[in-house]
């Protein structure tokens, strides 16, 4: 009886899940986008500061003064520039990691995770295939050289015999 009732009973209509605009997600994505832009500006500034510190260090290294006080000042300046550059490099690494995390979170919120992952996977496949093709071409060139070696040796020996008899 249940079987007959289940066959003739009208089925409930199923509706697909619809995307509802969630204002908290919108605010969150906007905040992440602004924070990523802010981090990009900080990375730009820190990169300039690292360059300036390295430039200062190289100027002190290649200065031509050989006075005792000037050489002491040069060593102090070089050490402080190196310490400054190391601190800025550490800060740059932290900012890059924070930007990477925020970009992943932004991709998750906007729904671009699979597209980006697929694009990255395809690029890895293309790079791998290009690498394999270059290795294959190199191996083929080596084999062609080995196989043509007897012909070249025969031509060289023939040329030497003809010149010797002349």
Q: What is the pLDDT of residues 68-108, one digit of tens each?
A: 777 777 788 888 888 988 999 999 999 999 999 999 888 88
Q: Where are the domains of the chain?
A: 23-112, 127-166
pTM score: 0.59
Q: What is the pLDDT of residues 50-63, one digit of tens each?
A: 999 888 888 877 77
**CATH code of domain 23-112:** 1.10.287
Q: Report the alpha-carbon distance of residue 139 to residue 134 in Å, rounded.
A: 9
What b/e readout covers 79-103, taking b as 16+ CB neighbours within 10 angstroms? eebeebbeebeeebeebeeebeebb
């Amino acid at each position: 009886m249940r079987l007959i009732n289940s066959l003739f009973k009208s089925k409930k209509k199923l509706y697909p899940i619809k995307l509802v605009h969630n204002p908290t997600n919108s605010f969150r994505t906007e905040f992440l986008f602004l924070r990523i832009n802010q981090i990009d500006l900080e990375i730009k500034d820190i990169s300039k500061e690292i360059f300036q510190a390295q430039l200062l260090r190289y100027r002190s290294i290649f200065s031509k003064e050989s006075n005792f006080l000037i050489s002491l000042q040069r060593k102090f300046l070089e050490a402080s520039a190196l310490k400054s550059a190391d601190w800025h490099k550490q800060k740059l690494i932290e900012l890059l990691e924070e930007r990477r995390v925020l970009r992943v979170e932004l991709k998750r919120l906007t729904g671009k995770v699979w597209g980006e992952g697929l694009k990255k996977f395809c690029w890895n496949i293309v790079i791998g295939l290009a690498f394999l093709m270059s290795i294959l071409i190199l191996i083929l060139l080596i084999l062609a050289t080995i196989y043509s070696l007897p012909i070249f040796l025969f031509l060289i020996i023939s040329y030497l015999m003809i010149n010797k008899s002349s």
